[in-house]
Chains A and B, each alone.
Chain A
Amino acid sequence: MCLGIPGKVVEIHDDGPLRMARVDFGGVRKEACLAYLPEVVLGDYVIVHVGFAISQLDEEEAMKTLEILRAIDAEGVALELGSLPDETAAPSAPPASAPPASGASA
């Protein structure tokens, strides 16, 4: 469900009480409602679903995920094994700030 795709906010305006944006998805521009992301500014990337921006894309996390994937060494020992922190064992505790290497993070 939930076709949501990332795009860049290239223009912001108001439609009455609703804050709206023009979002650029790799060359396609469409309007999206920013009501749910009041802190978003020009140049930010957002995930848009049915004309609403529902989440701001965390570009640092995006890079981190890709770096971690690239670092997986399928031949030998994965970076991750042996470095799983104990903090993630308690489900009710907030995830540790140092992410367990496979990309799980706060």
Chain B
Amino acid sequence: MSEIRPTADPFAPAEAAPAAPPDPANLVCPAPIPERARVLLGHGSGGQLSAALMRDVIGPALAAAAPGGPLNDAAVVEVAGRRLAFTTDSFVVSPLEFPGGDIGELAVNGTVNDLAMMGAQPLALSLAYVIEEGLPIEDLRRVTESVAKAAGRAGVRIVTGDTKVVGRGAADGLFVNTAGIGLVAPAVSVGADRAAVGDAVILSGPIGLHGIAIMSVREGLDFEVEVVSDTQPLNALVAAIVAVCPDVHVLRDPTRGGLASALNEIAAASGVGIELREETIPIPGPVHAACEMLGLDPLHVANEGKLVAIVPASVAGAVLAAMRAVPEGADAVEIGRVVADHRSMVTMRTIVGSQRIVDMLVGEQLPRIC
């Protein structure tokens, strides 16, 4: 697709194009910024476009003010000899209520989990609302009650917040932001760059539930499915893991972009390869069916209550046992290994015995007919 067109106003009927198509190696253009310079929905979907936006636009612009280093779920800052984990996340899900939860629950669990993925025990959350004018007050009350309930379940307190209202159309009903702090235990040092060759890759349970639950109520798709979002706090599960393996190398919750994107990020950050065994990855029947129907890859579908733990192979058994003893980890299973081959890439054995590459999600997941 050509980058530069002097007549590049897409809202006018296409005029006669210049005689010779532009040379892509010679990108000099006096025209208005072409489409490729606008943010697309795909930039928010957690896959390659999101990573690129971070790496090529936001990261460099923040460089002087940001500490650099691998992109983790939360930041860890030293405060008076303790390590404080600090994170923020915004929630823009539509519809606000979906099978298995609502935006309030998601907002609490999401931030609790980001802290937990650094091996931290969450302490306190902030809660900020951007409310679209016209939102029914009952909806706001229900969502806030969900927030309270989720916070109680996770053992965190909401200690500060903010509320703004914007005009109709400026927010999709309600946007929620939560930020959170937690304490990292002294022996724990989790990071996306710590996966080591030989480590075991462990998944805490079945994948694809949240994304399919959301899609089932999305405008234009509308199907009935017996899946509900798996949104849940994972701090208890992480505490169980850390109790038997303080030196857990990587913890990551595969949210937007799915399991594939999370593992690709880890492989790239650690400079290792990851090999998965397809038959070990738990995909619930209805998730499998919905993905078939829409032409989606379950490995790219979002999760909100699962984690990946990468641990030294010698403790994999103990970690699995500890996880399975906690409800959130009842279906924990080892799904692969960290290897020295094909560094930065994730592969999976196919049914005919060859290795296929498991790619990151490119942009927004679009259903297809073809």
Contact = CB atoms under 8 A, between A and B. Distances in A.
A and B touch in their complex, CB below 8 angstroms: yes
B369 A30 contact: no
A29 B224 contact: yes
Interface in A24-79: 25-30, 49-50
Contacts of B222: 30
Contacts of A2: 369-370
Interface string B223-249: 111110000000000000000000000
A93 interface: no
How many B residues touch the partner, as a band?
10 to 19
Contacts of B225: 27-29
A26 B226 CA distance: 10
Given A3-B369, A50-B369, A27 B292 contact: no
B166 interface: no
A98 interface: no
A1 interface: yes
B230 to A, nearest CB: 16
Interface residues of A, number: 12
Q: Which residue, of B222, B224, B284, has the highest number of chain A Cβ atoms within 10 A? A: B224
Given A26-B288, A50-B369, A5 B293 contact: yes
Interface in B271-309: 284-286, 288-290, 292-293, 295
A25 B285 CA distance: 10
A27 B289 contact: yes
Nearest to B222: A30
A25 B369 contact: no
Interface of A: 1-3, 5, 25-30, 49-50
